[in-house]
């Protein structure tokens, strides 16, 4: 299959693609292929993801704001510009300490 500029997908200004909501965190799949998925999340201060596991390794990319991230029985404080690898099957949770947005790549 020939590749052209028309096949490119631009991911600039990702944070502006999703608004904060006082009723709960928001998420939007911005890319999906057979074994690849990129999800944008927006959390208002105080919103959280309860402890859970993922079946595959994932990358968490902080776009703006801050959160706490619990993994390996340790609480980390994440901020915009940071990137973390989340290992498969490792329990983890997060809570927004300010309004924040992140991208999850898995």
| Domains recognised in the chain with CATH numbers | 16-105 (2.60.120.10)
- pLDDT tens per residue, range 49-75: 999 999 999 999 999 999 999 999 999
User: At 72, phi and psi to the nearest 5?
Assistant: 55, 35
State yes or no: pLDDT of 1 exceeds 50. Answer: no
* Joined tokens for residue 54: 């993922």
Tokens, residue 27: 């998420």
pLDDT confidence band for 17 (50 / 70 / 90)? confident
Q: How far is CA 5 from CA 11, 14, 30, 34, in A?
A: 14, 20, 19, 22
Give kind and range of the element (H or E) at residue 86: strand 83-86
> Is there a contact between 95 and 46 (Cβ–Cβ < 8 Å)?
yes
């Amino acid at each position: 299959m020939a590749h052209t500029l028309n096949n490119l997908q631009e991911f600039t200004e990702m944070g502006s693609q999703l608004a904060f909501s006082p009723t709960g965190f928001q998420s939007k799949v911005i890319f999906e292929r057979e074994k690849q998925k990129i999800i944008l999340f927006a959390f208002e201060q105080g919103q959280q993801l309860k402890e859970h596991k993922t079946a595959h390794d994932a990358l968490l990319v902080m776009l703006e704001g801050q959160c706490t991230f619990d993994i390996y029985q340790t609480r980390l404080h994440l901020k915009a510009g940071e990137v973390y690898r989340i290992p498969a099957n490792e329990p983890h949770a997060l809570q927004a300490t300010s309004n924040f947005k992140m991208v999850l790549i898995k």
